[in-house]
Every structure is written in C-alpha cells, then in structure tokens.
Amino acid sequence: MSRPEFLDDDDFVDQPRRKKKSSAGWVIVLVIACGAGVMIIPCLIALLLPAVQQAREAARRTQVRNSMKQMGLAFHNFHDTHSHFPPLDAEAAAKWPGLQDGEWAIQFVCKQCQQPINATSGDAGQAFPCPHCQTVMTVPRLGPHHSWMTMLLPYCDQMGLYQMVQLKSDWLDPVNAVAFSTEVPMFLNPSENGPRTSAEGYALSHFAANSHVLRYDRPISIASMTDGTSNTMLIGQVHDGFKPWGDPGNHRDPANGLGGGPNAFGSPHTGGIHVLMADGAVRFVSNDVLPEVLKALGTPAGNEQVSVP
C-alpha cells in the first residue's frame, strides 16, 4: 500500500499566473466586419433594386399585354355574333337583346333654352314641346348611351356585371351607379399609381378606343376596314385624363400622338405604348413613331401605305 503524499511549504509558493489571451483583437475584427457589412449591404441593395424593379415592370407589362389580348378576343367574338365591332348606333341598339321589348329613356337638349328634355324611345321622330320654354322640337332617334367596354363584358367573363347594367337606361342613370362603380381588372394597368375611380365614383379605365373605329353613331365591320385589320388600331393605353369604363365617350384620336394628356394616347412604360390592332394582335409602338404613321393607323379605310413599326 502506497504512502499518502504530503505537501510541504514549497508546494504553496505562488506560481506565476498564465496570461489570458486578449479578446481585443477579436473585437477589432468584428468591428471591421460589421462596418464592412454596413457598407456592403446598401451597395448590394443599390445594385439589385433596379433589377427587381425592372422585373416587376416587365411583369406588369406582360399583364397589360394579356389583358389587351383578352379584349382582342372579346372584340372578335362580338364581331362573330353581330357582324360588326361595338359600339352600336341607335338603329342597332333598338334590336339589341334587352332593348327590343319596351322603351328606354332619351335625353336631349332644347335648342332654344338649352335645358335638358326627357323623352322615351317611343317619342323618337315625333314633335315634342319643351317643358321649359314650350319650343316644339323633333325627338332625336337616340338609344341609351353605353360604351364599347360595356358591350364587351359578356365576352370577357363578366356576364354577371353585364347583367347588373340596366341597358334601357343611360349609363349615367342612378340605377346604373353600382354597376359602373365596379372595377374591372382587365380594364386597368397595374403600372398606373393614380386613383382608380372618378370624382363621381365611377370605376376608371386605363385604355381608350380609336375614335375612328369604335364610334357610337356607326358600327364598323372587318369588311369595311380596307386598310387591313393588321394596320388598323382598335384601342390603346392612356396615361392621363382617364374616363370611366362605362363612358361611351372613351375615345381618342391616334393622330394626337402618344405623349399622354386628356386627348392623346400614352403610357407609364418607357419608350412607348401597347396598342391592340383589329386583327387581335398587341403591338408596342414607340413614342418616336412618325405622326403620319399614327394617323394612318387610326383610319380603317384611308388607303395609306403604312404598317405598324
């Protein structure tokens, strides 16, 4: 059995302590790393942000093109059914489903006192005394005013909304307020950041029709487009002066250019606008296109020798 080991005084002599490794170096390294990170992250964001924005804008432009293609298909389905593009003249409106039975409201202005006169379709062509000044006038043959977009609703998977519209009443009639205050995503451009309703509460559209083709007073057929459907513009984007989709006056003249404003076409996209041609194709037209080309694209039978650039 081994003897226990006893400690003597020499074993309690203070020994020099081991020096701990200083952590100051690591602190410096961490500070430098953090500082570099603070500098690098904003740089990375600055480099990546334009790419992200471009990707989002490309997606929005694709959405616009898809919406316009759907409208183009709706136009042709409408044409296949009625042998012409919307909107309708008064004579055609009288034969429109939902209008041929019964009467609808007609409102016109007295030439003498400039006050509005309310009549019905049964009074069309008849002598009618103005209730304000008693001037006798002939009631014009006007149907209820509805837009080309309203007429496209059944062909755009919007039959439910179309059935909400009281066709026998003008689009501004209070009975149609709910229908025309309803937003239709297909009629909107996701790149537009402004209001989507008018001051009166009507849902807006970011597209307008070519005033030479989609007119209320005279429907146009493909056969009458002697310039060719691929050279005739139906609708285009607008960037200012938006009108409600239910407004039958949502037309603009391509000859006014692509610079935006309440009377011209335009878009928030860089370089130009998307337009829908009468053949159903969606084209991107540069803002630098010549005015005579735009004018030619607006006319369905102008016999101009131009094509979409």
Whether 192 is in a domain gets the answer: yes
pLDDT for the residue 51: 60
- Predicted TM-score (pTM) of this structure: 0.72
Token pair recorded at residue 146: 């509805």
Looking at the structure, do residues 272 and 235 belong to the same domain, yes or no? yes
162 and 283 co-located in one domain = yes
Residue 275: its H or E element: strand 272-277
Tell me if 86 is assigned to some domain.
yes
Cα–Cα distance measured from residue 4 to residue 309, given in angstroms and rounded to the nearest whole number = 106
**Helix, strand, or coil here: 215?**
coil
The CA angle 216-217-221, to the nearest 5 degrees, is 80
The pLDDT value recorded for residue 156 is 92
In a domain, 290, yes or no: yes
Looking at residue 13, its pLDDT comes to 52
* 206 in the same domain as 265: yes
* 186 and 269 both lie in a single domain: yes
**Which token pair is 215?**
């007119």
pLDDT at 67: 96
Rounded to an integer, what distance in angstroms lies between the CA atom of residue 262 and that of residue 252?
Answer: 9
pLDDT at 145: 76
pLDDT of residue 123: 80
- The contacts found for 263-266 with CB under 8 angstroms, 24 or more apart, are 264/238, 265/208, 265/236, 265/237, 265/238, 266/237, 266/238, 266/239, 266/240
In a domain? residue 71: yes
Residue with tokens 């059914």: 81
Residues 221 and 162 grouped into a single domain: yes
**pLDDT 10s digit of each residue in the chain, 309 long?**
555 554 555 554 555 555 555 566 665 656 565 665 566 766 666 665 566 566 777 888 899 999 999 999 999 999 998 888 987 655 555 566 555 555 666 767 788 888 888 887 778 778 889 989 999 988 776 666 788 999 999 999 999 999 999 887 778 888 899 999 999 999 999 999 889 999 999 999 999 999 999 876 678 899 999 999 999 999 999 999 999 999 988 999 999 999 888 899 999 988 999 999 999 999 999 999 988 899 999 999 888 776 666
- State phi, psi for 22 to the nearest 5 degrees: -70, 140
Q: What CA–CA distances, in Å, run from 266 to 34, 71, 246?
A: 48, 18, 20
Domain range for 150: 61-101+146-298
How many domains are there within the chain?
2
Burial label for 86, CB within 10 Å (0-12, 13-18, 19+), is buried
